[in-house]
Structure 1
Amino acid sequence: MTNPFNVAALQTRLKLTLDGVAGPKTFTAIFAKFGASATIAPKLGASAAINFPKFDISDTALRLVHFIGQTAHESGNYRYMQELGGPAYFARYDGRKDLENTRPGDGAAYHGRGIVQLTGRANYRAYGLALGLDLEGDPDQVADPAIGLLVACHFWKSHGLNELADADNIEKITRKINGGDNGLADRKNQTLRAKALIL
């Protein structure tokens, strides 16, 4: 499928060799441009090359723009693959029935991981079942950049964010991701950066 955005122009902005293919090198360069380290960026880029088309995220320029803008905010510009804090901080998730954190230590075991901060036993179970992975049994998998991006892609499509991105509706996307307007100013700034690079 041909990408509906100008890949050659994007590659020029990223100072890449022009091949017109939105593949691992192009996506790696995007993540690096937004702050991912030399270790994290290639893992995100390789996963994106497989999963962006699979979840229809690279079907339109605006989908890619909004995905990058939102996940850059959620992950501290791709520097953090899991929520910052320790056991005492994560204890705030203990006993959360909405997350099915009903066992002692669930808060720490199922704290936020990945580039959309998957949180709670119920979510690890549900996303694991959807993706064919035992995320409930081994939640640390989500901190791996490749798996974290896969989880984010599934979250994005299953919550109808492709369509909201096509409508350029950053407020509704933000509310779907975090339930409110938390970090909206930075999300807008990151999205504007993505627009300048991709559109």
Structure 2
Amino acid sequence: MPITVQQLLQILPNAGQVAGVFVPVLNAAMSRYQIIGLKRVAAFIAQVGHESSQLMHLVESLSYSADALRKTWPSRFDMELASATARKPEQIANIAYGNRMGNSTPGDGWKYRGRGLIQITGKNNYRACGEALGLDLIAQPELLEKPQHACMSAAWFWATNGLNTLADAGKFEAITQRINGGQNGSADRQALYARALKVLA
């Protein structure tokens, strides 16, 4: 059951003109990774819709205030560091993501920050995703900002993390947990999910 432009816009009205660009590549990605049937498609569209601000952002901005830094990464940013780096995305990325997820070289945190519809983050994840999609994402991480690769990487992440099974069981919060590591934005995700179920039914 491929999704239409009209359906996508009913679920993600802010997508506007990019909806037409995304529909064919979303359908191709969902088909390749068995994201089929009402429950899977609705959960997938809701989650990628939230993660990408309704398809408007394919790369993590990281322009955090000091307060937001302390809330998001309490173990990485103390009061002083948060104040010193607030609204400096490159420095924030290198502190938040440095020396983990395979990021071993200075600058890797920024180079391998979240990209695609489900924010693939960290050199290890870029490598695994690139191998699955036949792309050299280590040399060209920005490929995940192109709509077809943004969709395919999200569907790859979805399938690799067993999210079809959770979607079939209606375990939407567990999907959020696996994508986000917490329940950030859960009200928006739930609202998009409810709308997607209604539109696609």
Q: In the alignment, is residue 76 of structure 1 matched against residue 78 of structure 2?
A: no
Aligned-partner Cα distance in 1 for 2:60–2:97? 15
Tell me the TM-score normalised to structure 1 length. Answer: 0.81
Q: Name the counterpart of 2:173.
A: 171
1:31–1:78: 8 Å Cα contact kept in structure 2?
A: no
Aligned-partner Cα distance in 2 for 1:186–1:146? 25
Where relative contact order (Cα < 8 A, 6+ residues apart) is larger, the structure is 2
Letter in 2 for 1:117: Q
How far is 1:31 from its partner?
A: 3.5
1:155 to 154, 157, 161: 157
1:112–1:119: 8 Å Cα contact kept in structure 2?
A: yes
Q: In the alignment, is residue 42 of structure 1 matched against residue 20 of structure 2?
A: yes
Q: How do 1:1-199 and structure 2 match up within 5 A?
A: 3=1, 22=2, 26=4, 28-33=5-10, 34=12, 35-38=14-17, 40-58=18-36, 60-85=37-62, 86-97=89-100, 99-199=101-201
2:94–2:106: 8 Å Cα contact kept in structure 1?
A: no
Tell me the TM-score normalised to structure 2 length. Answer: 0.80
Letter in 2 for 1:71: V
How far is 1:94 from its partner?
A: 4.5
Aligned-partner Cα distance in 1 for 2:151–2:169? 23
How far is 1:123 from its partner?
A: 0.7
How far is 1:42 from its partner?
A: 2.7
Aligned-partner Cα distance in 1 for 2:139–2:99? 19
Unaligned segments of structure 2, at least 5 residues: 63-88
Aligned-partner Cα distance in 2 for 1:36–1:96? 35
How far is 1:51 from its partner?
A: 1.9
Q: Give RMSD over aligned pairs.
A: 1.5
2:97–2:113: 8 Å Cα contact kept in structure 1?
A: no
How far is 1:95 from its partner?
A: 2.5
Aligned-partner Cα distance in 1 for 2:42–2:186? 15
Letter in 2 for 1:166: D
Q: 1:32 to 1:157 in 2, by over 3 A?
A: same
Kindly provide the CA deviation profile for residues 61-104 of structure 1, in whole angstroms up to 9, marking residues without a partner as x: 1100000111111111111111113312322235332x111101
SS of 1:165's equivalent?
Answer: helix
Kindly provide the CA deviation profile for residues 130-183 of structure 1, in whole angstroms up to 9, marking residues without a partner as x: 111111110000011110100000111111111111111111111111122222
Q: What is the count of residue pairs matched by the alignment?
A: 173
1:93–1:101: 8 Å Cα contact kept in structure 2?
A: no
